[in-house]
Structure 1
Amino acid sequence: MNPAKIAWITDTTSSLSKEFIEQHHIHVIPLHVVINDDFFKETIDITQEEFYIRMKTEEGKFQSSQPSLNDFVELYEKLKTEYDFGVAVHASSILTGTYQTSVLAAEMAGFKLYGIDSRTGSYPLSFLIKKGIQLVEQGVEINEVVRQLNEMRDDTRLFLVPSNLDQLHKSGRVSGGQKILASLLNIKPILSIEEGTAKIKDKVRSEKKALAWLVNRLKEDLESHKVTKAVIIHAHEQDKAVAFEKYIHEQFPDLQTEVMMLITVAGVHTGAGTLGLSWVCE
């Protein structure tokens, strides 16, 4: 009996490398970023670097938008002629409607789909996809693969430290008064993506203290869980990210690290200059 032909589907919030996407034939639907009412397909019409440069240098509105239903229907109409079924792993359904749109489109196209709401994005989302592919290659039955991936969602960590509150204010996440007070006191909010949504975990004075907070949180998980890799995330702050990576290496010499650009649909809210740290407890 031939093994089932499985299509893997995700969106651009997964931050997968071009090489990995091509190697595993992953179908990636782009989200949109909107700059002063002009729509750009993420990673296709505009790179992450271009987006953050424009955010730093231009005035105006920077927003995000989910893929259209038609984008997914067209994809699934094609995939149903080539694959037995698909596994779609998407960004948090609370932060974007992409997951719901994907599942609806599969129903409309008559394509059998196992949909997974990752409840996160960026590195943790890419980790879930890679883990799912690994399990399938090991011969694990698809229902068990989906169960394990859903179970792992609570073990993902994604923390972000905005450089300022400008974009959070523009997107309605903080008030004007909070923005002014934070600027005066140099207060840095620490955001966590958990249970599918963004939460303010703490507020500290200075970026240095914020990064120390992230390292302490990582240390706690390293002491109680298996963590093989930590990813430093940045919104066009390569030098700061590399310096942060070096500091983490000094603290945890055996830990793998990687530097990754923050997905633009998150940067829409946190702004250029954001730094973050992410890992998964295995």
Structure 2
Amino acid sequence: MPGVAVMTDSNCGLLQEDEKRYGISIIPMPVVIDGNTYYEGVDITQEQFYEKLSQGAAVTSSQPSPGDVMDRWDRLLEGYDEIVYIPMSSGLSHSYACAAAFAGEYGGRVHVVDNHRISITQAQAALDARILAEQGKSGAEIKGILEKEALDASIYIAVDTLEYLRKGGRVTPAGAAIGTVLNIKPVLTIQGGKLDAYAKTRGMKSAFKTMCRALKSEISGRFHDLYEDGCLCAGIADTYMEREDLENWKEELARAFPELEVMHIPLTLSIGCHIGPGGLGVGVYRKHRSDR
């Protein structure tokens, strides 16, 4: 029987269709739209989601039901000795706390990781867990490593429209109106699972430069040793952006950080419902290397 199965949720940006490619079990995250529950990548696409969002639908993020999570655990444990489960950050959702409580019923076979991550950095944590499992690490060892390294990641997100921050109460109606006229693009940051305001910029180009400067400062500071050891890579993510625009930003990021591998994954719908379409996220994070 294989040793350790790795499981995460679609808040990492990967969907069930990616399971075979990465060797990771991915549980779809629910979103509630006008009172109806949909599952990311299963019965709603990004295009359908943002169409409903733009039409003024009432959209909220949710979390997997305990039953769905435990059913997935039960199926995985038919073929594996242990499970390492990496839900989205405990700072952004109750998913971790709920899963950790129910894991106690599995006699130490399910290890729930409080990795303080979301989006592409959460995806990397799941990929790292897969590498560590292939290296023969136990579930407990993998959990310990991922939690120790949880803060070896940084994300910045530029918001294209203030409409959804206004709806969520993060920006006043007057502030949103003025900001729209002035082409204000807020930059948010996720550090250790908490979403905070970072800067206000004029236009997306200025926002991108601001985010890159922040990342370069961190690379020369707290991430310097990881960078020198070749364990750092860069990521870019978006909320339903025009493909040509996205490709241009990917090229810009590669030029800004030519020495780093750049990975792209769409931003999860749970972020999209708060910031709307056209958002752009960039980040840097630790990456484990496979022995193969």
d(CA) in 2 for partners of 1:243, 1:214: 16
2:50 alignment counterpart: 52
RMSD of Structure 2 on Structure 1 (CA): 2.3
1:35 alignment counterpart: 33
Superposition deviation, residue 210 in structure 1: 0.7
1:239-250 map, 5 Å? 239-250=244-255
2:111 aligned with 1:121: no
2:109 aligned with 1:105: no
Cα deviation digits, residues 226-252 of structure 1 (max 9, x gap): 164322211111222211111222333
2:6 alignment counterpart: 8
Cα deviation digits, residues 75-121 of structure 1 (max 9, x gap): 23333443322111110112122222222333345562111122121
TM norm structure 2: 0.86
1:230 alignment counterpart: 234
Cα deviation digits, residues 175-221 of structure 1 (max 9, x gap): 22332232233222111111221011111222211100111122224
d(CA) in 1 for partners of 2:137, 2:4: 13
Match of 2:172 among 158, 175, 181: 175
Q: Which runs of 5+ in 1 are unaligned?
A: none
What SS is found at the alignment partner of 2:265?
strand
Identity among equivalent positions (%) equals: 27
- Asked whether the 8 Å contact 1:48–1:261 carries over to 2, the reply is no
Distance 1:136 1:263, change over 3 A: same
What SS is found at the alignment partner of 1:92?
coil
d(CA) in 2 for partners of 1:179, 1:96: 26
2:200 aligned with 1:196: no
1:216 alignment counterpart: 213
Aligned residue pairs, count: 279
Range 30-39 or range 250-259, more displaced: 250-259
Counterpart of 1:98, as a letter, is S
Superposition deviation, residue 4 in structure 1: 6.0
1:88 alignment counterpart: 85
- Asked whether the 8 Å contact 1:214–1:277 carries over to 2, the reply is yes
Superposition deviation, residue 275 in structure 1: 1.0
Counterpart of 1:233, as a letter, is A
d(CA) in 2 for partners of 1:22, 1:101: 27
